[in-house]
Amino acid sequence: MINILRVTFLPRIFITVLHSASARYIILRSSITTDRYTMQSNILYYYRVNKTFMSQIGTWPYQSKPMRIVIPIVLMVINITCLMAEIARMLDTWGDVDIAVECMISTIVVIACYTKLFNLSFKINQMRYLFSLIEYHWQVFNNSTDVEILHDYVIFSRKVVIFYAIYVYSSTSLYLLMPMSPQILDIVMPLNESRPRKFVFEVEYHIDREKYYYFILCHTHTAVILLMVIIVCADTTYIVYVQHGCSLFAAIGYRLEHIVSEDQTSSLMDEENEETTCRGKAVEDIYFKQTTFRELVICLRKHQLAIQYARILESAFRLSTGIQLALNMLALSLIGIQVMSNLGRTDELIRYISLCAGAFFHLLCMSLPGQRLMDHSVNIFDKAYRSHWYTFSLESKRLLRILLYRSIVPCTLTAGKIYVMSMANYSMIVQTAMSYFMTFSSMK
């Protein structure tokens, strides 16, 4: 009797899984094609902060196409005009190493920011597809514990996004106030003569710098603020995408760790139907094996969805992250040179130290999400071993073996398929940079 039930039950499970998977795939594709520019309000509620940030630079996937074209062009024109003024200043003062290095640093920052912007703009279909996958995952992970875990992670990611935006904007405000310190001191501690005016960075418009000082200051401040808006939008989008992937692995791990055991199945059978206890131990074992097998099939299918999401996420940001990493390292080298060259000038030293700290913090924000995704994907292996796997049937153990084999290999986020975004590599970069700074200081 047991063999007959096992033979008839297993094909039904596989047929059910195949039908459900294909049905959900058709639903997902139809939702993308027929509802391309909309998103369910209950899911959009969790990402309204990201919608605001992305709409500011024209990269919200469900934004109108004219806005997605006009806004990035306007941003690019403002920053290019400011960058041209910097290049003109460098050409007029050719031979001044400090101005040349400062212009190079500004150029690197602009290129890095627009690498982020172009990645979001040119890969708008992938970004929309990732949001569609997020919406689809909320439909598939419909268990009460799964929904609770996804909710906790999305709330945490929203707090991280708000904290990151506050940090970037507050730091930018302090940085932009530094050139205005002479005017502030003229009011607080006036002298017999006005203090010399300063700029955010050296620019040349071939006009009277004193007469049009506030015009120049307003232009440079606007360019810096727009760059920070791009950074906040791109980095917070990256964080939210990765955090959702972590929530998928966390929900799967929790379900594996708390998969129904034989004792729990027996108690459930007693509660559901008192007649079940009269059928004997054989029927009870079959019921347990069927329930466990069904749970493992669901976990395996969800694990494949999580892996697929991680691969799409990695491919969407791979090239952009690689370019940003290379530019970040180049900027750190140039900033280190400026720090060592301005040890006797307190105001310039503070400015370049703040830039160096910002570069390290940006690299941290690129590496930490990758480390979290790695940890969550590998934790599936530990969660599976914490389950009551020794009570599973042979078919269930075979399914569990497939899941264990796949969870050994972590899901990673790479920079151009060369550099793995992790905290180990981040610490290596920090140590290398510090040793480089110390070597340059001793040589000087």
- How confident is the model at residue 228, as a pLDDT? 93
**Token pair of 328 as six digits:** 């970040």
> What is the reported pLDDT for 386?
77
**CA–CA gap between residue 299 and residue 305 (Å, rounded):** 10
Q: Name residue, tokens 């297993």.
A: 10
Beta bridge partners, 414, equal 420
Cβ proximity of 252 and 380 under 8 Å = yes
**Phi/psi of residue 196, nearest 5 degrees:** -65, 140
d(CA 243, CA 156): 9
Provide CB contacts within 8 A for 161, sequence distance 6+: 49, 50, 53, 236, 239, 240
**Radius of gyration of the chain, Cα coordinates, nearest whole angstrom:** 28
pLDDT at 437: 73
* pLDDT of res. 272: 47
* Separation of alpha carbons 132 and 1, rounded Å: 46
Q: Which two tokens stand for residue 276?
A: 């079940």
- pLDDT 10s per residue in the chain (444 long)? 333 333 333 334 333 443 444 444 333 444 443 344 455 667 788 899 999 999 999 999 888 899 999 999 999 999 999 989 888 888 888 878 888 888 888 899 999 999 999 999 999 999 999 999 999 999 999 888 899 999 999 999 999 999 999 999 998 888 888 878 777 777 777 777 777 778 887 888 888 888 888 888 899 999 999 999 999 999 999 999 999 999 999 999 998 888 764 444 444 444 445 444 444 455 545 655 677 778 888 888 999 999 999 999 999 999 999 999 999 888 888 888 788 777 777 777 888 888 888 889 989 999 999 999 999 999 988 887 777 767 776 777 777 788 888 888 889 999 988 899 999 999 988 888 777 777 766 665
Question: For position 260, what pLDDT does the model report?
Answer: 62
Best CA proximity match to 202, nearest among 103, 104, 109, 111: 103
